[in-house]
Structure 1
Amino acid sequence: MYRHLFWDLGGTLVDTYPALDDAFAAVVREHGHEVELIEVARLTRRSTGEAVRTLSQRFGIAPERFEQANAALKKRWETDPAPAMPGAQELMARVHAAGGLNLVVTHRDRASATDLVQGLGLEVDDLVSTCDGHPRKPDPEMYRVLLERHGLDVAECLAVGDRPIDAEAAHRAGMHAVVLEDPEMPVDDDAEHQVSRLEELAGLLGLD
């Protein structure tokens, strides 16, 4: 039975996708084109970088324009953060009550990630970031750092993410993974579990 959760941040613990989709769609429209929001969403669910490349090539818009929109969005989140994913606070509290740890593995810089989880009232026990000098996922180094730091049995750990790279990184660290996905936009990944709501994780943790 799993006890400890290794959380991705954006798109998993924090509901960042709607604002990102809107921002990229706005860039397309500002350049005189039309794009359905669902088209943008399908791209961002795979990766922000892929969304930038695809939209840039399709509409003949410089990639920098999308990157600027993304940077402006992150700046806005410093004072007006995206909301926590539904069910996140409750599930994390239940993990703590059962003696488990909530650990965050993120590409976001440490200061903004820490401010974000604290501002949203998320009970995080530890957090590692690429700005600590670790390579980006799917490299498993950040997961391994947390495993070693807390002396955890990998069999009791479950990585929670929303993209294939989250599952890949977790597998390379020796742990199982679950992907949070929108049923209308399924993700092609190798995770052992898929859920559409965070509440569904309770069963995997024996918390039902």
Structure 2
Amino acid sequence: MNILWDFDGTLFNTYPAYVEIIKEFIHEVVSEEELLSHLKISFSHTAQHYKLTENQVKEILDRERMLHPAQTPPFPFVEEVLKFAHINVIMTHKPRGEVLDILRHYEWENYFLDIVAGDDGYPRKPDPASYIFLHNKHRIDLAIGDREIDILPAKSMGIKTCLFQNTTPGADLYVSDYKEFFKTKGIDM
């Protein structure tokens, strides 16, 4: 199986750290759950919803870049799925350097045959251009993401999709933890 992965919120549990940073810039009382529900749509949506200024967005992104990889750990059992797959690739809006720093920290760089990062010049999701590139090169069987924008490009191409910790309609498969992934494949862990 060849899997295309989203990065933030799919491979790595980055949202708790991101929520803490963003909360400092919101001038109203907002729960972590509410903020997370907006982030699960997109960061752009979140910035627009909370009327964050351009300077605030820049400062938030700068602070996110300063996070140590230990503050954004991998989800439990995701490494087992990476080992199970024949080919793993990443498509993320995160800059390549940040992705590589985190992968190196966890010694995971060898799990991924290819990466399309936010600074590679492709349009942002849900535009399918990066997915088309990765699919033409690696024949993707499944796209896994935590947001609807992560699965829309794959759906438009006829690739099977999996939403992680998200029940938005439209995915072929839903898992709340990666142990469930193996249950859907009939494999006991």
Q: What interval of TM-score do these two structures reach, taking the shorter chain for normalisation? A: 0.7 to 0.9
Match of 1:168 in 2: 152
CA RMSD of aligned residues (A): 2.0
* TM-score, normalised with respect to structure 2: 0.87
1:1-208 residue pairs with structure 2 within 5 A?
A: 3-28=1-26, 31=27, 33-56=28-51, 62-77=53-68, 80-95=70-85, 100-122=86-108, 123-150=111-138, 152=139, 157-181=141-165, 186-208=166-188
Q: What SS class does the counterpart of residue 108 from structure 1 fall into? A: coil
* TM-score, normalised with respect to structure 1: 0.80
Aligned pairs, number: 186
Aligned residues of 1:117 and 1:124 also touching (Cα < 8 A):
no
Unmatched 5+ stretches in structure 2:
none
Q: What SS class does the counterpart of residue 107 from structure 1 fall into? A: coil
d(CA) in 1 for partners of 2:7, 2:104: 12
Call closer, same or farther: CA 1:130–1:66 in 2, change over 3 Å.
closer
Unmatched 5+ stretches in structure 1:
none
d(CA) in 1 for partners of 2:183, 2:2: 13
- The amino acid that maps onto 2:23 is A
Call closer, same or farther: CA 1:189–1:47 in 2, change over 3 Å.
farther
Bigger Rg, which one = 1
Aligned residues of 2:40 and 2:146 also touching (Cα < 8 A):
yes
d(CA) in 2 for partners of 1:200, 1:67: 37
d(CA) in 2 for partners of 1:83, 1:172: 31
Q: Residues 60-94 of structure 1, C-alpha deviation per residue, up to 9 Å, x if partnerless?
A: x53532441232122224x6551111211122112
Call closer, same or farther: CA 1:125–1:147 in 2, change over 3 Å.
same
- The amino acid that maps onto 1:196 is S
d(CA) in 2 for partners of 1:7, 1:86: 15
Q: 1:187, CA displacement in angstroms?
A: 4.5
Q: 1:197, CA displacement in angstroms?
A: 0.6
Q: 1:170, CA displacement in angstroms?
A: 0.9
d(CA) in 1 for partners of 2:164, 2:116: 20
- The amino acid that maps onto 2:105 is G
